[in-house]
Chains A and B, each alone.
Chain A
């Protein structure tokens, strides 16, 4: 067998750093995504704590205006692009092949490339703190504040542009990979309407990414050109229009919200039935509601722009479409409650998080409908009411769902359990902490506190609730410390989980915990929407494993890492010297060539 550049001899159960660098195994890549995103999540949490510390008292002196603006901008960018999205992707990676009954994703090496490019983008964006200052223009980077004229003192907004462009490449490749995997690699009998809801939500998320990211890419490249090559897309003095940036950004930005929340919709749709010991209520309605939310998500973007001077008709149109989203969302909430109805509910930590998700996400949904009304939004926009809203959706929704997923799938991924005692402690600290932090922000909004201010005077009725919110944020931090303790303790335990400790219904529980590299000894056959429950209730034995079978798996490769390095150089070049970009191009071309010639076995 010929070995070309890049191929690494395949070793069963290989260990060591090199095996992780060259891995194309979806489970290992999922683990890499998960651990990297956890680190970024903790970093984004520290950024939030600093912001909250500054705001704990009026006229706070902990941070200066400049650092505060960097921190609130980076908190959003870190949490959105480097924590919640990749935590979602970590589960996609680990569980999409397992849940559709496949042995890997459709394009394993592309999958590795996605991870390494994500890591490059994340490190590049974060390194800006040490290289002249982090982006400070808000995660939405509104022109003309982000333009060369008003952000000249540093490369901060170039880091923003380049960082997001690189991360966008990673997400786009991942999205295509998962879409192809879900559509083409389902096990025999796994029809579309037998797909686990989690897989449906992943598929919808993938399409949202494929359709929305190009819009952001166009906007970022225009901003890059405005800043570095004196084009004037967004410069009003030269005939450009800052409102154009807002349209482009939010055509991406609103679907992005669903990209963040839909995976968690999927997770709780798996967790609730398993621990209620009954099938999901209204499967088809939940699936089609998810699709409707995604479609409507593309026609609501201007609700982020109600105060920019929109005329009567667009205000009414975007208000109507936005309120329309309440309908499929309501269907989902009621169906989740319907799933609990009549159950025999085991309250594990995963279930605590899933139930809390329903309640907390609903609060975010209610406030969302409130400012779907443009006149109400004229008061709420850019106040702490909106900060409360987005955190109920993204923390109460997305993060609660992800934590439910962590506790639910941890035994499958590691063969070990997270301690339930520590888990409940973690849950209560996070749950109480998030409500202490974010509910008072509604009151602050009503009392008129604007967002993104590094300081405020006393006497406006903002002091008490700011202090409460800060105490809440430290409570969340304590809760996450408990999670880390539970995590490290669990990793020292024996692997006692067994194949299906929760008596769950989906295919990932049909194989060992953790699964072998090839996922399934025999590709499973799906006879029902809840395949393992069907087999259990009909006394269908797992298939015999043939002796001496050869399972072909893709070989490890270091080419994805090299190619990702080329992409990083491309970005670094834009920020430093074009010669570096040229080097990046060379590395990329070489890697593509080597990739093409790499043998597949």
Chain B
């Protein structure tokens, strides 16, 4: 029942298409199309997750995402084509009694054609890529807010030279104003990555890298961010948060952060302050307005105002603070802050004091 629809030839032999063959081919194409579509749906679904890398909330991320879309369509088309051809050939040319294999060694015209196909695909990806490269490796706009981000094993320090302000692990930026982040490292290589706002750039000791973006979407929740270069024992625990605020709210935040630490009130809080001032704490931390001025660990002047603890490992609750103070390396393996052998009573007082530093 071979009904020849057309008679293309290859290597001098006439190719025959049977109805059954066409039916099978159609089925395979539908199957691969369905598979490609399913994978596409899951990709889109994954792009809805809180740390997804197809964000549009910062200008750099948005530029990359629009490029990503071009790349994705190319990838999807090639995926569909190769999977379909492989399956169709596997079915069409499987062993059959009486079938003779075509004894051909090649076909110059075909080979030239499929040399050109990847050239075209690659050019279609390359040209928009080069435009985005040029845009994101250029100079930041003049009115950009500068932030110096310094990577430490295993936390982030943020300094705003414009305000003389230092904070840690939670970065606040105003919406619709460009931000230029100067990237430093105090020890090993880290990488600064806020997926929904900007592509990552490494923090390399001895180098000053930079990136810039304009956050465009104010939202109450934080943008999740995480170190993206393996940096040792607690690499997995080196996270941070970025808050995008209206300019007025941002200014208010800056003013609050610039203030010295709150005077300790009576009771537990005052006792906690006393313990802080007379123990190992002052050897590493700064609390502006007190004698604690060391710069080894994060600045704690307004630690109570942060939403997270230990480089965004956990929510800032008194219970988590207590757990941290009792044995930091047990919470964050390798933590540079050692177990200080504090008693439960000392911890309770320190927690009261630190949580009061809003």
- Chain A interface residues toward B at CB < 8 A: 64-66, 69, 137-138, 142, 144-145, 150, 236-237, 240-243, 276-285, 307-309, 311-312, 315-316, 319-320, 323-324, 326-327, 329-331, 333-335, 337-338, 340-347, 355, 358-359, 362-363, 366-367, 369-370, 372-383, 385, 439, 442-456, 459-462, 465
In the complex, the answer to whether B85 meets A330 with C-beta atoms within 8 Å is no
Q: Which residues of A contact B210 (CB under 8 A)?
A: 309
Q: Which residues of B contact A278 (CB under 8 A)?
A: 101-104
- Chain B interface residues toward A at CB < 8 A: 10-11, 13, 15, 39, 42-43, 45-54, 61, 63-64, 67-68, 71-72, 74-75, 78-79, 82-83, 85-86, 89-90, 93-96, 99-107, 110-111, 114-115, 117-119, 121-122, 125-126, 129-130, 132-134, 136-138, 153, 183, 187-189, 191, 193, 195, 198-202, 204-207, 209-210, 224, 226-237, 333-334
Which single residue of chain B is at the shortest CB-CB distance from A377?
Answer: B199
In the complex, the answer to whether A373 meets B207 with C-beta atoms within 8 Å is no
How near does chain B come to A389, taking the closest CB pair, in angstroms? 11
In whole angstroms, what is the CA distance A362 to B10 when docked?
A: 25
In the complex, the answer to whether A309 meets B68 with C-beta atoms within 8 Å is no
Which of B46, B78, B134 lies in contact with A447, CB distance below 8 A? B46
In the complex, the answer to whether A447 meets B49 with C-beta atoms within 8 Å is yes
Q: A323-B122, A375-B199 are in contact. List 6 more A-B contacts (CB 8 A).
A: A66-B333, A277-B101, A319-B126, A340-B93, A375-B63, A446-B52
Q: Which residues of B contact A236 (CB under 8 A)?
A: 204-207
In whole angstroms, what is the CA distance A373 to B132 when docked?
A: 9
In the complex, the answer to whether A447 meets B103 with C-beta atoms within 8 Å is no
Which single residue of chain A is at the shortest CB-CB distance from B100?
Answer: A344
In the complex, the answer to whether A242 meets B64 with C-beta atoms within 8 Å is no
7 A–B contact pairs at CB < 8 A? A242-B205, A311-B137, A334-B117, A338-B106, A344-B99, A450-B228, A465-B46
In the complex, the answer to whether A138 meets B93 with C-beta atoms within 8 Å is no
In the complex, the answer to whether B230 meets A142 with C-beta atoms within 8 Å is yes
Q: Which residues of A contact B129 (CB under 8 A)?
A: 319, 373-376
Given known pairs A337-B85, A345-B93, A355-B86, the reply for A242 and B226 (CB within 8 Å) is no
Which of A145, A311, A312 lies in contact with B231, CB distance below 8 A? A145
Q: Which residues of A contact B10 (CB under 8 A)?
A: 341-342
In the complex, the answer to whether A342 meets B102 with C-beta atoms within 8 Å is yes
Which of A64, A279, A323, A445 lies in contact with B126, CB distance below 8 A? A323
In whole angstroms, what is the CA distance A145 to B191 when docked?
A: 14
Which single residue of chain B is at the shortest CB-CB distance from A373?
Answer: B129
In the complex, the answer to whether B132 meets A375 with C-beta atoms within 8 Å is yes
In whole angstroms, what is the CA distance A332 to B47 when docked?
A: 33
How near does chain B come to A286, taking the closest CB pair, in angstroms? 9
In whole angstroms, what is the CA distance A66 to B235 when docked?
A: 11
How near does chain B come to A532, taking the closest CB pair, in angstroms? 15
In whole angstroms, what is the CA distance A330 to B123 when docked?
A: 14
In the complex, the answer to whether B104 meets A281 with C-beta atoms within 8 Å is yes
Which of B86, B110, B200, B207 lies in contact with A382, CB distance below 8 A? B200
Which single residue of chain A is at the shortest CB-CB distance from B130?
Answer: A316
In whole angstroms, what is the CA distance A456 to B227 when docked?
A: 13
In the complex, the answer to whether A65 meets B233 with C-beta atoms within 8 Å is yes
In the complex, the answer to whether A243 meets B71 with C-beta atoms within 8 Å is no
How many A-B contacts at CB < 8 Å in the complex?
298
Which single residue of chain A is at the shortest CB-CB distance from B87?
Answer: A359
In the complex, the answer to whether B100 meets A448 with C-beta atoms within 8 Å is no
In the complex, the answer to whether B188 meets A145 with C-beta atoms within 8 Å is yes
Counting chain A CB atoms within 10 Å of each CB, which of B45, B106, B136, B232 scores highest? B106
In the complex, the answer to whether B71 meets A376 with C-beta atoms within 8 Å is yes
Given known pairs A277-B101, A383-B53, A447-B46, the reply for A366 and B79 (CB within 8 Å) is yes
In whole angstroms, what is the CA distance A323 to B129 when docked?
A: 11
How near does chain B come to A147, taking the closest CB pair, in angstroms? 9
In whole angstroms, what is the CA distance A439 to B229 when docked?
A: 22
Q: Which residues of B contact A311 (CB under 8 A)?
A: 137
In the complex, the answer to whether A446 meets B233 with C-beta atoms within 8 Å is no
In whole angstroms, what is the CA distance A243 to B191 when docked?
A: 14
Q: Which residues of A contact B61 (CB under 8 A)?
A: 379
In the complex, the answer to whether B82 meets A362 with C-beta atoms within 8 Å is yes
Which single residue of chain A is at the shortest CB-CB distance from B115?
Answer: A331
In the complex, the answer to whether B42 meets A319 with C-beta atoms within 8 Å is no
In the complex, the answer to whether A448 meets B49 with C-beta atoms within 8 Å is yes
In whole angstroms, what is the CA distance A247 to B88 when docked?
A: 43
In whole angstroms, what is the CA distance A379 to B13 when docked?
A: 50
Which of A319, A451, A462 lies in contact with B130, CB distance below 8 A? A319
Counting chain B CB atoms within 10 Å of each CB, which of A138, A377, A383 scores highest? A383
Q: Which residues of B contact A333 (CB under 8 A)?
A: 82
How near does chain B come to A50, taking the closest CB pair, in angstroms? 16
In whole angstroms, what is the CA distance A437 to B214 when docked?
A: 37
Q: Which residues of B contact A459 (CB under 8 A)?
A: 50
How near does chain B come to A351, taking the closest CB pair, in angstroms? 9
Given known pairs A327-B119, A376-B129, A452-B235, the reply for A446 and B46 (CB within 8 Å) is yes
Given known pairs A375-B136, A378-B200, A455-B236, the reply for A446 and B47 (CB within 8 Å) is yes
Which of B52, B67, B209 lies in contact with A373, CB distance below 8 A? B67
Given known pairs A309-B209, A344-B93, the reply for A65 and B125 (CB within 8 Å) is no
Which single residue of chain A is at the shortest CB-CB distance from B185?
Answer: A236
In the complex, the answer to whether A242 meets B206 with C-beta atoms within 8 Å is yes
Which of A142, A279, A367, A382 lies in contact with B228, CB distance below 8 A? A382
In whole angstroms, what is the CA distance A324 to B123 when docked?
A: 9
Which of A347, A381, A460 lies in contact with B224, CB distance below 8 A? A460
Q: Which residues of A contact B115 (CB under 8 A)?
A: 327, 330-331
Q: Which residues of B contact A66 (CB under 8 A)?
A: 233, 333
In whole angstroms, what is the CA distance A383 to B230 when docked?
A: 11
In whole angstroms, what is the CA distance A346 to B15 when docked?
A: 20
In the complex, the answer to whether A451 meets B230 with C-beta atoms within 8 Å is yes
In the complex, the answer to whether B114 meets A446 with C-beta atoms within 8 Å is no
In the complex, the answer to whether B75 meets A343 with C-beta atoms within 8 Å is no
In the complex, the answer to whether A343 meets B125 with C-beta atoms within 8 Å is no
How near does chain B come to A345, taking the closest CB pair, in angstroms? 5
In the complex, the answer to whether B207 meets A243 with C-beta atoms within 8 Å is yes
Which of A276, A277, A378 lies in contact with B201, CB distance below 8 A? A378
Q: Which residues of B contact A445 (CB under 8 A)?
A: 53
Which of A283, A319, A330, A343 lies in contact with B133, CB distance below 8 A? A319
Counting chain B CB atoms within 10 Å of each CB, which of A243, A319, A446 scores highest? A446
Q: Which residues of B contact A344 (CB under 8 A)?
A: 93, 95-96, 99-101
